[in-house]
Structure 1
Amino acid sequence: MQVGSQPINEVNQVPEPQYQPDFYSTAFIEDSMPHYKRMRDLGPAVWLPRHKVWAVCRYEDVKQALSNDEVLISGEGVAVNGFTNKLMTGDNTVTLTADGADHARRRRALGKPLSIKAVRELKNQIQDEADSLIDRLLVKSNFDGVADFAEHLPVHIVSNLLGIPEAGRKNMLNWSTQSFNTTGPYNWRTLKSVPAAFQMVKYGTKISRDSIDPKGWVNNLYDAADEGILGENEVPGMVLDYMAPSLDTTITASSHMVYLLGRHPDAWEELRADPDLISGVARESLRLASPIRGWCRYATQDVEVGGTIIPAHSRVLVVLASANHDERKWDDPEKFDIHRNPRDHVAFGFGSHSCLGRHLAQLEMESLLRAMAPRVSRIEAGEPRLAINNTLRGFASLPVKFN
């Protein structure tokens, strides 16, 4: 018997092909790329028996899956484990786990300060902050490419733009990182991170109109409530839509970017001589870093992906990080190619659920490069220490020196 092109063992009804290694083990996370290649080579959809999910790893199949959001939905949760899915759906639905008209309504309210036009208005402010940061780092004998370099703009800019009370600004980064951990399976990382996720949810429920900066992003949500786009009772929960996903992607990609340029001095020299390369280098860094490993979707009916039929009621893990390294799409995908300019990378996802903050993240990364180019002649990047997270892929620390 076959489910589409996927053979099913007649006796045990076991889906095939299977990939046995634990997708969420430390060993897998530390050396993901060879695993992703083996999974891509097995087929369009691969069964992960440890987690009881189908993994979609090829670039075109990932885009197809994310485009089919009427069948492969987010409304049953985007995590591998049921606890987090219950926490993020039903009465607790966030924009990440909304579908259809409800998702469009929420996204419209959230997206106003993150539009291309709105982000462009922040360009000078962000560039000034980037310039000051690089000037400070230049006088240091060395610094951490994560905490001192990559975290500064997202944490400083975004936390202030939100206009939320101090406790939220202070804890945003930790809460965000821990919330990504909770979307894995029931492993020790998920369990360890649940208290921080609850703290973030509790903080969101205490947000009120009189506790925020009237010029901040969160106030836009109350404006949307006044216009009837949102219910005012929805606003506190939607504050988390700004807080949870707004930092880690940019931080991870920015630290990876400075690492790549430190390890490829010829590329850095070429970029310094030709600033027109800056946008493409930021995109190439995003492609190679692929900060988010993947999200789950839920199949409401039998669904075809890449010629394979995935059965109804399956969970489908859409592996963005694998898609960005797929040799079917990218020539020499592991190479840092500053002329590639991969506008069609999927580091920010694809389709209706693509990251709302992608324009801001791109601008922040470009601003760092524009600040560095006239000031930094040479970048020394040491060996990074990996951050082990169920959903994020990045560095915990990275020794760097600017000359």
Structure 2
Amino acid sequence: MTHPTLDIDLFTDEALAEPFEGYRQIREAGPAVFLERYGVWAIGRYEPLRAALADWETFSSAQGIGLSQASNRTTKGLIIATDPPEHDRLRGVLADKLSPRALRGMGGWIREQAEAHVERVLAQGGFDAVTALAAPFPVQIVLDLVGLPQEMRPKVLGWAEAAFNAGGPPVPRTFEAQPLLEEQFAMLAEIDSDALAEGSFGRAIYDAAAEGKIDRDSCVPLMSAYVTAGLDTTINAVSAAIQLFAEHPEQWDAIRADQSLMGGAFNEIVRHQSPVSWFSRVTTRDADVDGVVIPAGSRVMMMYASGNRDERKWDDPERFDVHRNPVDHLAFGYAVHGCAGQGLARLEAISLLQALSTRVARFEIGTPVPRLNNRIRGLASLPTVAVRA
């Protein structure tokens, strides 16, 4: 049986920095494409990707969501690496704390923190939109919510970088990340649960284990999920926003003039510059993807960032337009494995953008430095000057 195949490498430095031509080739080749170099399949078109994400029984996460066997072993038990009913049991531990009602309750506090953070950053004059603006804010917010001990916090961004890199294919970047991923799990296992603050996410996880709602062995993977995965979406989205608004100042003018566009602008930012490029699944049975059959037992890359640029779905997908409001983007995944913390990421990012919109008329940027990572895409540095309103 013939099927679409491609011999392209998505994991070179050049491809990670500028991936969209590779994604276009995958979409053009077919609804599902076999990538010969790493022996995996890829789904890059929006509609079949969304359908596959909704079908967890066929496209299973239980064997891990990376391309590295070592990483998949280390991360066994993460929410995103399980299927229902275990997935639902783990996700339910913090469901109340991440619910729309809970987020409304903490919204005032997060907006106050955002106002203060933006004032501190703008007082510097020139600043780096990644390291000074985007990164410190979710680190402060998320780690306070989780209750992570102060002595571990300087390691968190390195852990997050490694967690996403370690899931890549057998390339040096993947191998170099694995020891840091293992260090993260080892250090989280040493946490004294009694020292976690009452009401924190971390205390809720250990309380759930004590009450028999989850296994004790699930505590460290859950802590890892919220400590590391809760940062990069916000960091990458905010830094991408600064670059996009600097390059398209009329779009910044639009949201400054009409704050009701802010939510749609966030959707457009993460559609246009998806923070997570892909996760993988394994087929439990032969899967017919719009006429292309992926055999049972195949590992399949779910190409979120490609689906978000699919010409079959979006009108002029390369164009950044805050009036588009693509509410059905796939930047946070979809269905069962849709990102549990996406509401928090959205609240953090919009709070920062709102604080900036009342103070900044224009962003002037230097040369962006791409962040090269196997599974997430963003900037490592973005020199910025904010012209005060």
Task: Answer yes or no: same fold by TM over 0.5.
Answer: yes
What amino acid does structure 2 have at the position aligned with 1:267? Q
Q: Is 1:33 aligned with 2:25?
A: no
Shift of 1:224: 2.0
Provide the residue aligned with 1:23 in structure 2. 10
Distance 1:172 1:111, change over 3 A: farther
Provide the residue aligned with 1:310 in structure 2. 294
Q: Distance in 2 between matches of 1:133 and 1:221?
A: 29
TM-score (norm 2): 0.97
Which residue of the other structure, out of 115, 140, 165, is the alignment partner of 1:131?
115
Any stretches of 5+ residues in structure 2 without a counterpart?
none
Q: Distance in 2 between matches of 1:276 and 1:60?
A: 29
Structure 1: which 4+ aligned runs deviate by more than 3 Å? none
Provide the residue aligned with 2:234 in structure 1. 250
Shift of 1:79: 0.9
For residues 94-137 of structure 1, the C-alpha deviation after alignment (integer angstroms, 9 at most, x for no partner) is 21211110111001113331111111111111111111122122
What amino acid does structure 2 have at the position aligned with 1:350? Y
Provide the residue aligned with 1:218 in structure 2. 202
Provide the residue aligned with 2:129 in structure 1. 145
Q: Distance in 2 between matches of 1:370 and 1:341?
A: 17
Structure 1 stretch 351-360 or stretch 229-238: which is displaced more? 229-238
Q: Is 1:180 aligned with 2:164?
A: yes
Provide the residue aligned with 2:306 in structure 1. 322
Shift of 1:305: 1.7
Alignment partner of 2:385: what SS? strand
Shift of 1:381: 2.1
What amino acid does structure 1 have at the position aligned with 2:319? K
Q: Is 1:388 aligned with 2:375?
A: no
Provide the residue aligned with 2:180 in structure 1. 196
Report the RMSD for the aligned CA atoms in angstroms. Answer: 1.3
**Contact 1:205–1:237 (CA under 8 A) maintained in structure 2:** no
How many residues are aligned here? 387
Provide the residue aligned with 1:65 in structure 2. 52
Q: Is 1:356 aligned with 2:343?
A: no
Distance 1:86 1:137, change over 3 A: closer
**Contact 2:121–2:127 (CA under 8 A) maintained in structure 1:** yes
Q: Distance in 2 between matches of 1:311 and 1:229?
A: 36
What amino acid does structure 1 have at the position aligned with 2:310? D
Provide the residue aligned with 1:367 in structure 2. 351
For residues 259-303 of structure 1, the C-alpha deviation after alignment (integer angstroms, 9 at most, x for no partner) is 111111111112111111111111111111101110110011101
Q: Distance in 1 between matches of 2:26 and 2:225?
A: 32
Q: Distance in 2 between matches of 1:215 and 1:269?
A: 40
Q: Distance in 1 between matches of 2:137 and 2:105?
A: 16
Alignment partner of 2:229: what SS? coil
What amino acid does structure 2 have at the position aligned with 1:173? L
Provide the residue aligned with 2:278 in structure 1. 294
For residues 342-362 of structure 1, the C-alpha deviation after alignment (integer angstroms, 9 at most, x for no partner) is 111111001101101100111
Q: Distance in 2 between matches of 1:216 and 1:372?
A: 29
**Contact 1:159–1:172 (CA under 8 A) maintained in structure 2:** no
**Contact 2:185–2:220 (CA under 8 A) maintained in structure 1:** no
TM-score (norm 1): 0.93
**Contact 1:207–1:236 (CA under 8 A) maintained in structure 2:** no
Shift of 1:226: 4.0
What amino acid does structure 1 have at the position aligned with 2:222? M
What amino acid does structure 2 have at the position aligned with 1:249? T
Q: Is 1:82 aligned with 2:69?
A: yes
Q: Distance in 1 between matches of 2:254 and 2:217?
A: 52
Q: Distance in 1 between matches of 2:148 and 2:123?
A: 33
**Contact 2:70–2:178 (CA under 8 A) maintained in structure 1:** no
Q: Distance in 2 between matches of 1:51 and 1:160?
A: 40
Q: Distance in 1 between matches of 2:295 and 2:218?
A: 34
Q: Distance in 2 between matches of 1:80 and 1:115?
A: 32
Q: Distance in 1 between matches of 2:12 and 2:96?
A: 39
Q: Is 1:122 aligned with 2:109?
A: no
What amino acid does structure 2 have at the position aligned with 1:388? L
Alignment partner of 2:6: what SS? coil
What amino acid does structure 2 have at the position aligned with 1:35? G
